[in-house]
Structure 1
Amino acid sequence: MRDYTDDLCYVKSLHPVDPGVYIVGAGPGDPDLLTIKAQKLLAVADVILFADSLVPEQIIALCRKDAELIRTANQTLEEIMPLMIERVRSHKSVIRLHSGDPSLYSAVHEQMHLLAEAKIPFEVIPGISAFQAAAAKLKVELTVPGLVQTIILTRISGRTEVPVTEELATLAAHQASLCLYLSARHVEDAEAKLREHYPDDTPVAICFRLGWPDEKIRVVPLKQMADCTHQEQLVRTTLYIISPALSPTTGRSRLYHPEHSHLFRSSHS
């Protein structure tokens, strides 16, 4: 694995008009959930590369009117990287626009490796992930005191294998708030593994294309997870949240309790 220690000059913050690559999180789909920094970059960048199947046109509409738009849904990394490198060497600012947050399931690791190897400066701008947008839509907190305090972000093994130590049944044993990405095509297998540890009536939020005009959110018991997925004909762009936090609870945080003291407040007991 490449050590970026010697390449710090290529991962430092860039000025919005500097030639370089900006790896930008587009969020789950709603343009209003873009960070201010992402909006500013889209408004000035010379070139935008984006997976057109995952980034809605409403976000692309925020780009500079004369920006070069390059759709990459049907391209490989071997085709995409030379485009970015050539544009930067032509003194242009380039945005590599990823759905959600670049740190999750975006294949950004290999892109950063190749950019550093080519001595191309780059910066990463985070985005809202689907699990955060889903919790907001559902009006829930995924870490409820006395009920659940851990969030697991994962996927089931498919064409991309998951390490043995991260198999879904192993993670499900924690009974945490589990956010399952990229798994709709294997939903029967996922449901079976989850039911090894979660009660059958554990609520599951099935979230399709969050933030898009055709968004769907269904909350069902775990035992109906696969059936509902098939009834709604969901095969991609679907997030599952399996969590006891989706049930009505009476848990209360100690943070604002009158008997709890901290640096800025004394106990009222």
Structure 2
Amino acid sequence: MTVHFIGAGPGAADLLTVRAVNLLRSAPVCLYAGTYLDPEVLAHCAPGAELIDTQGLDLDQIIAHCVRAHAEGKDVARLCSGDPSVYSALSEQKARLDAACIPWDVTPGVPAYAAAAAILGAELTVPEQVQSVVLTRTHARSTAMPETEALANFARTRATLILHLAITRVRVLAAELAGEYGAHCPVAVVYRASQPEQLVLRGTLADIADRVEAAELRQAAVILVGPALAESVDCAQSHLYDPSRDRTHITR
């Protein structure tokens, strides 16, 4: 048997990959994080599949379900919100499975920030303005951040900044970021991107905290900061598509 770590995407049942859907249809056991998942995603599971919500379980309890399924010869679909490469506890789970000699593989998914950008109709990189995207989070009651990854260090780059797990600290963070980006820098907050409860808030570093607090958002939201988030962006033309670019050397 194999434990399949599957990117469940941002929530919508139709934003899973074909590979993810096929794995869900064939797995007798599915572990999923109910906090962030639209229940419709589970409709892809096989009739009679064992569905286990992990939001109330610790890591050892989750792995125990995998060990038990392994002993029974059953594949496990381990659904991760967004994409398993970011904030999924993939490393810890892999280490425990390796120690138990249980095979595993990984299927990527649509990350929450990409779904948020699509909803906003935003390109996060704008020619000659911003060409980098920083994905990070902040520390409150969660795992400590490395000292070298202080938010101020990322802010100095003025790259498009994507903040996960940070919505409850938005007022403090906005004030901190305003020193580098400026108080009028565009900000967007997307709550439960692609799910029925989806909510989009637009503003600036000066007023986004008021909007978030008025909406009473406490979880499942992505914060996007930077000039690329302006609703109308004037930018230089990309060299790749510039009509004056010499294309005679391009082979077909």
Normalising by structure 2, what TM-score? 0.95
Contact 2:201–2:212 at 8 Å: present in 1 too?
no
Task: Indicate which of 143, 165, 185 corresponds to 2:168.
Answer: 185
Task: Indicate which of 115, 120, 129 corresponds to 1:138.
Answer: 120
The residue number in structure 2 matching 1:71 is 53
The residue number in structure 2 matching 1:13 is none
Contact 1:157–1:167 at 8 Å: present in 2 too?
no
Task: Indicate which of 216, 241, 253 corresponds to 2:238.
Answer: 253
Contact 1:148–1:176 at 8 Å: present in 2 too?
yes
Q: Distance in 2 between matches of 1:251 and 1:34?
A: 34
Q: C-alpha offsets along residues 149-172 of structure 1, whole Å, 9 cap, x if unaligned?
A: 000000112122211111111111
Q: Distance in 1 between matches of 2:61 and 2:126?
A: 45
Q: Distance in 2 between matches of 1:196 and 1:164?
A: 20
The residue number in structure 2 matching 1:28 is 10
Task: Indicate which of 199, 202, 207 corresponds to 1:224.
Answer: 207
Tell me how far 1:36 sits from its aligned partner.
Answer: 0.7
Task: Indicate which of 152, 155, 158 corresponds to 1:169.
Answer: 152
Contact 1:46–1:68 at 8 Å: present in 2 too?
yes
Q: Distance in 1 between matches of 2:46 and 2:226?
A: 41
The residue number in structure 1 matching 2:90 is 108
Contact 1:48–1:95 at 8 Å: present in 2 too?
yes
Residue segments in structure 1 that go unaligned for 5+ positions in a row: 1-18
Q: Distance in 2 between matches of 1:265 and 1:259?
A: 18
Contact 2:171–2:209 at 8 Å: present in 1 too?
yes
Q: Distance in 1 between matches of 2:246 and 2:81?
A: 41
Tell me how far 1:251 sits from its aligned partner.
Answer: 2.4
Deviates more, 1:158-167 or 1:90-99: 158-167
**3-state SS, counterpart of residue 188 of structure 1:** helix
Contact 2:24–2:77 at 8 Å: present in 1 too?
yes
**3-state SS, counterpart of residue 195 of structure 1:** helix
Q: C-alpha offsets along residues 8-43 of structure 1, whole Å, 9 cap, x if unaligned?
A: xxxxxxxxxxx1100001001111111110011111
Matched, 1:91 2:77: no
Question: For residue 150 of structure 2, what is the amino acid of its counterpart?
Answer: E
Tell me how far 1:193 sits from its aligned partner.
Answer: 1.5
Task: Indicate which of 189, 199, 210 corresponds to 1:206.
Answer: 189
The residue number in structure 1 matching 2:250 is 264
Tell me how far 1:265 sits from its aligned partner.
Answer: 6.7
Q: Percent identity?
A: 38
Q: Distance in 1 between matches of 2:73 and 2:58?
A: 24
Residue segments in structure 2 that go unaligned for 5+ positions in a row: none
Question: For residue 251 of structure 1, what is the amino acid of its counterpart?
Answer: A
Q: Distance in 1 between matches of 2:187 and 2:251?
A: 38
Q: Distance in 1 between matches of 2:235 and 2:34?
A: 43
Contact 1:172–1:197 at 8 Å: present in 2 too?
yes
Question: For residue 170 of structure 1, what is the amino acid of its counterpart?
Answer: N
Matched, 1:153 2:139: no
Question: For residue 55 of structure 1, what is the amino acid of its counterpart?
Answer: L
Contact 1:144–1:252 at 8 Å: present in 2 too?
no
